[in-house]
Structure 1
Amino acid sequence: MRDFQTPGRSPVLSERGMCATSHPLAASAAIDILRNGGNAVDAAIAGAVLLGICEPQMTGIGGDCFVLVSPPDGGDVLALNGSGRAPAAASAQALRGRGLDSVPLFSPEAVTIPGAIAGFAELSQRLGRLGLAASLAPAIDYAERGVPVAPRVAHDWQAAVGNLQGAGREHYLLSGNAPGVGQVFRSPGQATVLRAIAEAGPQAFYTGEIAADMVAALNELGGVHTEEDFANHRADWATPISGSYGDIEVVEHPPNGQGATAILLLNILKAFDISAMDPHGAERAHIEAEAAKLAYDARNRFIADPEFMSNPDRLLDPDLARDLAALIDPGKAMEAAPPLTEAVHRDTIYITVVDEDRMAVSLIYSIFHSFGSGIASPTYGILLQNRGAGFTLAEGHPNEYGPGKRPLHTIIPGMLRQGGKVLMPFGVMGGQYQPNGHARFVSNVVDFGMDPQHAIDSPRSFAFDGVLSLESGYGPDVQAQLSGLGHRVVRPDTGIGGAQAIRIDPTTGVLIAGSDPRKDGQAVGY
C-alpha cells in the first residue's frame, strides 16, 4: 500500500469495465462506448483514434498500430499487425548512391504506408460489436469542436515545432506557434476523413481523393509512393509469441515489432536474484542496464519484417539468454554494442480496455517521431509517419530498406497470463525503451508484488547509446554508485516513457488499473 502522505496515485478499481490511456478525454470516450453496449474492441478503437486529435504529436491516422486481443471466451490471444510497408519503388541502393548511411528522418523516404486505419477496420469487423462508424464518432466530434491542449501535450508540441514542414505547419500550428495549455486545437480536415471512413470503410482512406492527397504531398518532395501502394495495403493477423517470468506468462506481438526483445531481456534477468535486490537500488539498475545492452544488440541483428527473417525464434531461445547473462559482470559496466542506424524516438500512445465480459485489448498506436515525418497532406492535414527510418541501409541485413517491406518497429503491446487466463493487458511507451520498460514492469509485478499503479510510478533507468538515463526518483547515492561501476549517467529532460495497465483480479474479477503520471492520462472505470 502506498504512503498516503506522499503525492501519488492510487490504482483505480471497478467491476464492469475499465480503460487506461494517456489522455482523459480518450479514456472517457472509451468508457462511453462500453456504457452504450460496445465491447473492448469498439472502445479501444474509439479511444485510440481520439488520441490522434488529443495528442497529434504522438499519433494519428497517418501512423501504425499493433494490437493484442484476448477474446471474452478465454481463448487464445490474437495479434493484429497494423503496420505499413515501404512503397514498391523503395530502394536502399538508391539511398546509398546519394551518400546516405541511414534513412533521413523527415523525408518522404521515411514514410511507409499508414497501416492503422486498415488495422482498426479489420479489428472492428472481426471482433467489434457496434461497427467502425460508432468507434470513430467521438474523434469526429472532437476534431470538429476542438480539444483543449493538455499540459504534457503542450510541452511536447512546443519541443517539436521544428519537425513540422509545409502543410504540417498550417494544420498543426496556431498563428505560426505551438498551442499553449488550454488553447483549443481543431482538425476539420481529419473530421472529414474520419467521416468518409465511417461511411464507406477503409477504402475511403486508401483510395480516391484522400489517398491522392497523401501521395501528392509525398511526390512533391521527391517520394516514390503511388496510389497503388496505398490501395494494396492490408492488415495481417499473426500468432503472438510468449515467454515466462516466475509463474507469469508474458505475451508479446511477434516481429516486425520488438516484443521478442522484452522476452529475451526477461530471460537474461532470470539468471539473477532480482527479488533480493533493492527495487530502487544501484544493483538492480546495473544488472538491468547490462541485460538491456545485450538484448538490444541481439534485436538489432535479427528483428525485421518476418518474411525476411531467417530465424524468427532466435531471440526466444533460452540458451541465447543464458549465454548473454554469463557476459554480465555485477561489478563493472560493459561498453555498449554499436547500434545499427535504426532511428530512436519517444512518441507513442497506448490504450488498454477490459470490458464486462473480460475481453481485453492491448493497443499501441504511433506516428514514430514527434509529428512523424512532419509531412502532412495539404487538403486534409493527415500527418504521415516516418516509420521507414526504422530500416537500416546496411546491405544484406534482413531489415534493409526495400520495396514492400515492413521496418523494425519499436511499438509493442503486452499481456500477462497466469494459469492460462489473462491477468493483465499492459503497455509501456517510450520508443527504444519499450522492451526494457516491459521487463521492468513485469519484474516490478512479479519480483516485488507491486500493483499496476505502483509498478508504473516506480523510477526508471535505461541504458542506450552509451549512456544510462536515470530518472530523478533515484537518489544521488544511486547515481554515484552507478557512475562508480563505469556507467555514464545522465538525468533525462523528461520522464522515461509512459505506461498503462489493467489487472483482472483472478479471485474477485475486480479490475485494478494504473496510468502513468508522466503523461496527462488516467484510468477510468465504471
Structure 2
Amino acid sequence: MKNVCALFFLQGCLALSGTATGQDRLYGKSFATRSVVMAQNGMACTSHPLSTQTAIEVLRAGGNAIDAAIAANAMEGVVEPHVNGIGGDLFAIVWEAKTKKLYGLNGSGRSPYSLTLAEFQKRGLKHIPSYGPLPVSVPGCVDAWFELHKRFGKLSMTRILSGAVRYARDGYPVHDEAARSWEGMVSRFSEYPNVKAVYAPNGQAPKRGEVFRNPALASTLERIAREGRDVFYKGDMARTIDAFMKKAGGYLTYRDLAEHTSEWVEPVSTRYRGYDVWELPPNGQGLSVLQMLNLLEGYDFSKIAWGSPEHIHLFVEAKKLAYEDRARYYADPAFVKIPLKELVSKSYADERRKLIDPNRAAVKVDAGAFNVALKDGDTIYLTVADSEGNMVSLIQSNFRGFGSGMVPDGLGFMFQDRGELFSLTEGQNNTYAPHKRPFHTIIPAFVTKDGQPFMSFGVMGGSFQPLGHVQIIMNVVDFGMNPQEAGDAPRIDHLGSSEPTGERMEGPGEITLESGYSYETIRALMGKGHKIGYGLGSYGGYQCILYDAANRVYHGASESRKDGQAAGY
C-alpha cells in the first residue's frame, strides 16, 4: 500500500509541474519529449551522442550501415563501459537492400569446457553468482563485428574502429547515466585485480563531466583493427586471458576462445495486423515478443484506449503466459529441441488466449505442453540506416552493470557475467553444461510491411525487453504514435514470472507503472486483483528508425530517459 500511495504522490507532482510533457508542441502526445528526427541519406540512433556522431562520420566517409553500426558499438564500449564492451556478446538483424532480405547473427559466447555442473554442486550453489570468475562465458562481440564486416562491410576495420580508439586514448567527458552507474562499481569490485587501475585510475570513480581515458582499451582496439579477430581469440590476447583466468580461479581457457564461432541464423516472425515482426530464435528471448503479439491480436484495440485498465490488464496477462513458455523452453538449441514453430503459431495463441480472464489477474499459469524431449540488466541498443537502404538492428551487453569484475591484464575491458543466467537445476532446457550458450535477454527487433523495411528498433532492460518491444509495436500499430512518441509513452513492467534460471514465481506478481497513468486506471487494475507499484530505472532504453518507403525518408527516435541521440543527414 505504501508503494501505491507513493506512486500517486509522484504522479501528482509530475502532473502539477508539467514535467516530461509536450503540451507546447505543434504535434504529439502530451508525453512527447521532442520531434522525430528525419533524414534521407543516413540515420543513426544510439544511447550516446558520441556513438551516434561516430556512426554518421562513418556513413559520410563512404561506409554503409553495417560499418557505421560496428563503429558505434565500439564507441559505446568506450563511453558506456557500464553496459557493454568487447567483454560481452552481440546479436544483430541486418536488412540488406541489395537482396531485400533479413539476416540474423547470434554472436553469443559459450560456457567454459572445463567448468561442469558438478563443480557448482560441489560448492553447494543454487544459483551462479553475479560476479567473479564463475559467470564468465566467452565474449562474442569481437567475432560478431568481423562476421558482420566480412559479409556486408565496405570500409577497413582500421577506419571503422578509429573513432573508438581515439576517444579511448584521448578521453571523453563522462555523462550522467554512466557517472551514476560508476559510483558503486569501485567498491563492488574492490577485491578483483585491475579494476581500479582501468576504471578508477585516480583512486575513485570518475564524476559527471570528468574526462576519462582508457589507454589499454585503445591499444586493444587498435590491434584488433590492424591484426583481425584472431589476435583476440587465438593470439597473445587469448593467451593473456587464459593466464589471467587461471590466476583468478576461473575456467575460461585459450581453447574456449580459439574454438568460438558466431552463428548466422534465420530470423523468426509473426504477422501482427499486417506488419511482420521479426526476432531472433533462442538462445534469446525474442520469441516471447511474437507469442505476446499473437495473444494480443485477438483483441480489438481500436476499441480499447491506450493506458486504459483493459489495455494494461490484457498486456500483463499475455506476458504471464508467454514468460512461462520462455522459462521452460528457451535455451541453446544445440543442446535441446525447442518447439519453435508451435510456440509462435496462431493456433497455439488461440488456445492459450482462452486462459486469459478479462476481469481477473491470473495468480498462476503454466507453460504450454508440447511433445518434445527435454534434456535432463544492462545493455546498449543501436540502429543505423544508410543511403542504399541497408538497416541494422544491433544489441550488445555485458549483462549486469560493468560485468563480472574480471579485467584481464593490460587489455582495458571487463568480462561479461552472462553465465549467471544458466539454471543449476538438473533436467531443464537451460541447465548449465560445458560449451553451452546461456539463455540471453538481449534481443534486436525488426518490422517489415509488404516485403519492405518498416522499423528497426530495440528496447534495453534485461527481462523487460520483450515487454518493451510489444509496447513499442502496439504504440505504433494500435495507437497510432510516431516512433518518438512510442518510446516516450509511459511504460508498463510486470515482475513475477518463472525464470529460465529455475526460479518459480507464485501469485499475480506486481505491475510497475511509470508516471502518466491515471488514478482511475490504477484503481480499476487493483479491482481486477493486480498489485500495483513503481520502479526506478527499470523500464529500459530505446532506439528506433522507421522507414517511410513512400517518401524514402528515415524517421529516427532516441530514448528520452537516458543520454542517447538520434541524428541523420
Contact 1:470 1:479 in 2 (8 A): no
Letter in 1 for 2:248: L
Letter in 2 for 1:75: K
Letter in 1 for 2:452: K
Select the residue among 293, 304, 307 that pairs with 1:277. 304
What are the within-5 Å matches in structure 2 for residues 30-429 of structure 1? 30-164=55-189, 165-313=192-340, 314-335=342-363, 346-429=377-460
- State the secondary structure of the residue aligned to 2:378: coil
The whole-number CA distance in structure 1 between the counterparts of 2:533 and 2:196 is 33
The whole-number CA distance in structure 2 between the counterparts of 1:159 and 1:295 is 35
Letter in 2 for 1:469: T
Contact 1:500 1:514 in 2 (8 A): yes
1:17 partnered with 2:42:
yes
Instruction: Tell which deviates more after alignment, 208-217 or 390-399.
Output: 208-217
Letter in 1 for 2:118: Q
The whole-number CA distance in structure 1 between the counterparts of 2:302 and 2:169 is 50
- State the secondary structure of the residue aligned to 1:176: coil
Q: CA deviation at 1:234?
A: 1.2
The verdict on how the C-alpha distance between 1:264 and 1:161 changes in structure 2, with shifts beyond 3 A counting, is: farther
Letter in 2 for 1:4: D
Contact 1:471 1:495 in 2 (8 A): no
Other-structure match for 1:504: 547
Contact 2:245 2:253 in 1 (8 A): no
Q: CA deviation at 1:109?
A: 1.7
The verdict on how the C-alpha distance between 1:160 and 1:329 changes in structure 2, with shifts beyond 3 A counting, is: farther
Q: CA deviation at 1:421?
A: 0.9
Other-structure match for 1:462: 493
Q: CA deviation at 1:423?
A: 0.8
TM-score by length of 1: 0.95
Letter in 2 for 1:235: S
Contact 1:18 1:524 in 2 (8 A): yes
Letter in 2 for 1:187: N
- State the secondary structure of the residue aligned to 2:399: coil
Letter in 2 for 1:385: Q
Gap runs ≥5 in structure 1: 340-345
Q: CA deviation at 1:99?
A: 1.3
Q: CA deviation at 1:8?
A: 1.2
The whole-number CA distance in structure 2 between the counterparts of 1:3 and 1:509 is 30
Other-structure match for 1:513: 556
Other-structure match for 2:24: 4
The verdict on how the C-alpha distance between 1:330 and 1:174 changes in structure 2, with shifts beyond 3 A counting, is: farther
Instruction: Tell which deviates more after alignment, 348-357 or 485-494.
Output: 485-494
Q: CA deviation at 1:161?
A: 4.3
Gap runs ≥5 in structure 2: 1-20, 368-376, 497-508
Q: CA deviation at 1:79?
A: 0.5
Q: CA deviation at 1:335?
A: 2.2
The whole-number CA distance in structure 2 between the counterparts of 1:33 and 1:334 is 50
The whole-number CA distance in structure 2 between the counterparts of 1:315 and 1:99 is 35
Q: CA deviation at 1:78?
A: 0.3
TM-score by length of 2: 0.88
Coordinate RMSD, CA, aligned: 1.8
The whole-number CA distance in structure 1 between the counterparts of 2:64 and 2:363 is 48
The whole-number CA distance in structure 1 between the counterparts of 2:441 and 2:454 is 24
Instruction: Tell which deviates more after alignment, 312-321 or 385-394.
Output: 312-321
- State the secondary structure of the residue aligned to 1:287: helix
Deviations 1:303-345 (A, max 9, x none): 1111123134142122322222211112221225599xxxxxx
Other-structure match for 1:483: 526
The whole-number CA distance in structure 2 between the counterparts of 1:448 and 1:359 is 28
Deviations 1:385-414 (A, max 9, x none): 011111111212221111111111100101
The whole-number CA distance in structure 1 between the counterparts of 2:184 and 2:526 is 29
Contact 1:148 1:183 in 2 (8 A): yes
Corresponding residue pairs, total: 520
The structure whose Rg is larger is 2
Deviations 1:121-157 (A, max 9, x none): 1111110000222211110000001111111221222
Identity %: 41
Other-structure match for 1:342: none
Letter in 2 for 1:520: D
The whole-number CA distance in structure 2 between the counterparts of 1:262 and 1:163 is 34
The whole-number CA distance in structure 2 between the counterparts of 1:222 and 1:485 is 51
The verdict on how the C-alpha distance between 1:382 and 1:509 changes in structure 2, with shifts beyond 3 A counting, is: same
The whole-number CA distance in structure 1 between the counterparts of 2:482 and 2:232 is 41
The verdict on how the C-alpha distance between 1:425 and 1:74 changes in structure 2, with shifts beyond 3 A counting, is: farther
Contact 1:90 1:401 in 2 (8 A): no
Instruction: Tell which deviates more after alignment, 398-407 or 116-125.
Output: 398-407
